[in-house]
Amino acid sequence: MNRKDTNVSGTDFYIPVPEGFQFAHCLDYLGRSEEECLYEIHGQAVRKLFVLSDRLVLLEFSNDGSRRIQAAVLHGGPLQDSEQQMVEKYVREWFDLERNLEPFYSLAAEDVLLSKVVKSLYGLRIVGIPDLFEALCWAVLGQQIHLSLAYALKRRVTYAYGSALDWNGTRYYSFPSPKQLLAASPEELGAMKVSRAKSAALLEIARSMESGELNREMLLGLGDYEQMGERLQRIKGVGPWTSHYVRMRCLGDSGAFPIGDAGLRNAVKSAAGLAVKPDEACLRELFLPWKGWEAYATFYLWRTLY
């Protein structure tokens, strides 16, 4: 019996997607590095480990070209209704499914630089990191280092402090919770080649989130992305680039603009045929026509790099 054609024992469910959404483009993004440790690409599907109701649940997400994502519970099911709702919410935020992209596409169609990029990647959405703690830690770990090293640091931290599940010969991991990471000492993180400043930032973020002082709902409740960014930058080690990155990947701010990003400068240099990488003044001027959609312009330009 084909699992895609039936919902056996409540193990499969479906999440509607908007017209034009291209799961394949998002999957390509997810599969951009073999060093990723928080999900596994299997053919045309992605498998991810969740912690639901204090138990480990492994799910597989796929799309057959129809306007829905199929979610199959591989281990830990069946899900309770509340758990399924949590997963559905996560997936909608993961792939930014609630956003109307027509204004962005209309803008890009008239733009010399963006039109070709968007045409080739039409249907791609910002692939988010819905968990605030993971998003903040990933942004901090990735500050001012090569992407491959950032992946290595994330893998070391995840393997040491995250939860793990062995299933069908593969070990799947979830990113540590704030409580789990607080079991780490600065010395242990340092032994993993996490710098002293980054270790301090990670542990401060973990303490703030474990105490309830900081959480995603609180930030979103501010109702203003600039205020959210200001709140994030109260954390020592979180500057403008990190706060804009988290606004972009976790908080749903389509106008977030990580202007200091080295990859963005490389992408613009290549796409615009510039002789040298643009400075911040040049980037600000270039992005003026894309106001309100800076995050999407950035994400699409990033994709031209790999």
CA nearest to 306, candidates 276, 263, 275, 273: 263
**Under 8 Å between Cβ of 7 and 120:** no
**Under 8 Å between Cβ of 42 and 59:** no
Q: 300 — phi, psi (to 5°)?
A: -65, -40
- What are the residue ranges of helices labelled H in 95-195? 102-109, 112-120, 132-141, 147-161, 178-181, 186-191
H or E, element range at 167? strand 163-167
Strands (DSSP E) contained in the chain are 12-16, 40-42, 45-52, 55-62, 68-75, 163-167, 170-174
Q: Which residue has the tokens 């040049």?
A: 282
**Which are the catalytic amino acids?**
261
